[in-house]
Amino acid sequence: MSLIPSISQSRWRTLAVFGLTLFTLTTVGADYACAADTQSNIVVHIIESLGWFFGPLMLVVSVSLVALSVLLALDLRLSVAIPPGFVDEFTDTVNRRKFKEAFDMARNDTSYLARVLTAGMSRLQYGLEDAREAAANMLEGIRSEKEQKNVYTAVIGTLGPLLGLVGTVVGMIMAFRELGGGGQPDPKKLASGIAHALSVTFIGIGISVPSIVLNAFFRNRIIRISMDTGHIADDLLTQMYHNSKKAGATPSTASAAPPAREPR
């Protein structure tokens, strides 16, 4: 039952980020285009040179990159992976040997550390190694989920120059078609084809460079958060395991001890 609301919430957050990003970029771009002089502004000239096909296509790719970056930045915060105060509260609960309360605390939390601890504690009765293996599997699943999102930034980084290359080819075809049409070529149409080729290439490279940088940044961020979460989860599971052993050994030790002799 808890999985369905989390998926729904994630989808709504994704749609909200995409919608907000698209609205912001469209509004800013429209205001800027209306305020600028189309004859003297090079930015407006580049946008107009993209054409009716590559212009919307580059806009969709740019919006996707911005929205994806915002989503990854929100998901890969350290406070989301390891909430402040959670480790101290969990440690204090375990030290007081309230293991059921500690398990409920981790199960009701949505952070990465809590999800890893929940998977490990569910196997802790079978030994510490089984608990560590279950926690490692959960951590790997979380890491794979974030890496799947980050893959799209690499895809956009590769797609940008390819779209620019296609636009270059189309623009050069338009230019050479005007040159080979016979008669005196129209300088305006010739310049339009060349401008189209260069503008699409420029925008494609402009999309690719930040995509590559963001992909490397988020990849390193995923590795760092995964390592920190794994180390803390292993320490807490080990502490809980030894505390549970002490709690279980105390009654048996007391009952096995021989009765004290009364003084004569």
Q: What is the DSSP code string of 53-107?
A: HHHHHHHHHHHHHHHHHHHHHHHT-HHHHS-TTHHHHHHHHHHTT-HHHHHHHHH
Range of the domain at 147: 12-246
Which residues are CB-neighbours of 99 under 8 A, at least 6 positions away? 240, 243, 244, 247
Examine the pLDDT at 166 and tell me if it is beyond 80. yes
- Determine, yes or no, domain membership for 103: yes
Assess if residue 192 is contained within a domain. yes
Whether residue 2 is contained in a domain is answered as no
Task: Kindly state the average pLDDT of the residues 32-47.
Answer: 60
* Residue 125 banded pLDDT, cuts 50, 70, 90: confident
Give this prediction's pTM.
0.72
Round to whole Å and give the CA distance between 224 and 221: 5
Which pLDDT value is given to residue 43? 77
Place of tokens 């895809």: 155
Confidence of residue 264 (pLDDT cuts 50, 70, 90): very low
3 located within any domain: no
How far apart are the C-alpha atoms of 125 and 248, rounded to whole Å? 12
pLDDT at 248: 54
Number of domain units in the chain: 1
What is the Cα–Cα distance from 127 to 241, expressed in whole angstroms?
8
1 belongs to a structural domain: no
Q: Would you say residue 159 lies in a domain?
A: yes
Do 138 and 115 meet the contact criterion of CB atoms below 8 Å apart? Answer: yes
CA angle 103, 109, 111 (to 5 degrees): 120
pLDDT of residue 52 exceeding 70 = yes
Whether 225 contacts 78, CB under 8 Å? yes
The C-alpha atoms of residue 120 and residue 115 are separated, in whole angstroms, by: 9
Terminal-to-terminal C-alpha distance of the chain: 67
Q: How confident is the model at residue 7 (pLDDT cuts 50, 70, 90)?
A: very low
Q: What is the mean pLDDT of residues 200-218?
A: 93
Q: Residues 71, 150: contact at Cβ < 8 Å? A: no
42: which residues sit within 8 A by CB, 6+ positions away? none
Mean pLDDT of the chain: 79
CA distance 8 to 11: 5
Residue 97 is predicted with a pLDDT of 87
Nearest to 111 by CA among 81, 66, 141, 147: 81
Residue 262 lies in a domain: no
Tell whether 261 is covered by a domain.
no
Question: pLDDT at position 262, please?
Answer: 40
Specify the long-range contacts of residues 116-119, CB closer than 8 Å, at least 24 apart: 116/142, 116/229, 116/230, 116/233, 117/90, 117/233, 117/236, 117/237
